[in-house]
Structure 1
Amino acid sequence: MDDTSADPHDALAGTLKRTEVQHHSSSIPGREIVQVLTEIPVGVQSGWHTHPGEEVGYIVEGTVEMKIAHSPTLELHAGDGFLIPPDTPHNALDLGPGTGHMLSTYVVKIGEPIASFVESPEN
């Protein structure tokens, strides 16, 4: 497993601890599959961002508030899964009591950044 903190293709790596678990070609033309374990300290937000493809996630540990543009806010607990559609702004906040851990699998366009920061749609 590699820590992606130095990966310029992952804007979130400078904010959160993100460890790439695996990275492979996909059977879907023009797509690749990237799996990442993200650690979010209590009270820390990911910041509003998007991905160039689907994010299929699972809360391994903790409680996370997930805001997704144009959708109701979710409160996710260990054992909960979630899906973020492609190019959809979203923001995760760890509610505690400890560090949250999320395992996310991205099915994304080849050659594009895994995550890109965007303006809050709430402004």
Structure 2
Amino acid sequence: MNAFRIGLLSGLVLATFAASWAQAQQASAPAQQVYVSKPIMVSPVTGDDKKEVVLMSVAIQPSGAVPMHTHPGDCVGAVVEGTVELLVEGQAPRRVAAGEAYNNVRGTVHGFRNVGDTQAKLLNSLVVDKGAPRVQPAAQAAKQ
């Protein structure tokens, strides 16, 4: 009977340890980043010291998405590789393939979804208010 209790207790301790270890491993595993957005170049706008031009590269993993957001200025962009859906608040999704372009005016709430099997690459040119956050999540933009 004692051997049974010791075995049962050992099993419970082992199961608890294994569950804790699995949770720790899961918590420490890096989350896969579904998109990366980074500035390539920032330049002043001639004749307007309150504005700047920002050239941004965006890479979106297959099935990944860029959350809905806005910019404090106009955005003109092109898909360099892959195919995405341009999601604009209040409009039907629009497919944009490599070699095609899009435009979002100041304050347009928009996002992107990669609908292809390979990484999508975008190149965006923003003319924005200097010093303002270049990208603002849609939820924050709605509060202003």
Give your verdict on TM over 0.5. Answer: yes
Deviations 1:22-53 (A, max 9, x none): 10001252210000110000111101100000
**Among the aligned pairs, what percent are the same residue?**
25
> 1 CA distance for matches of 2:133 and 2:99?
28
CA contact (8 A) 2:34 2:61 kept: no
> Is the counterpart of residue 43 in structure 1 residue 63 in structure 2?
yes
Name the SS of the counterpart of 1:33 in structure 2.
strand
Gaps of 5+ in 2: 1-32, 140-144
TM-score (norm 1): 0.81
Deviations 1:62-114 (A, max 9, x none): 00001112333210000000001101100100011100000000000011101
Aligned partner (choices 89, 92, 96) of residue 112 of structure 2: 92
> 1 CA distance for matches of 2:105 and 2:64?
23
Please name the residue that 1:5 is paired with.
none
> Is the counterpart of residue 118 in structure 1 residue 134 in structure 2?
no
Higher relative contact order (CA 8 A, sep 6+): 1
**Alpha-carbon RMSD:** 1.5
Question: Computing the radius of gyration over CA atoms, which structure comes out larger, 1 or 2?
Answer: 2
Q: Which amino acid aligns with 2:73?
A: G
**Compared with structure 1, are the counterparts of its residues 28 and 88 closer, same or farther at alpha carbon in structure 2 (3 Å cutoff)?**
farther
Displaced runs of 4+ in structure 1, greater than 3 A? none
> 2 CA distance for matches of 1:42 and 1:74?
17
**Where does 1:5-44 land on structure 2 (aligned, <5 Å)?**
16-27=35-46, 29=48, 30-44=50-64
Gaps of 5+ in 1: 1-13
> Higher helix fraction: Structure 1 or Structure 2?
2
> 1 CA distance for matches of 2:36 and 2:110?
18
> 1 CA distance for matches of 2:108 and 2:124?
15
Q: Which amino acid aligns with 2:71?
A: H
TM-score (norm 2): 0.69
> 2 CA distance for matches of 1:15 and 1:108?
25
Please name the residue that 2:103 is paired with.
83
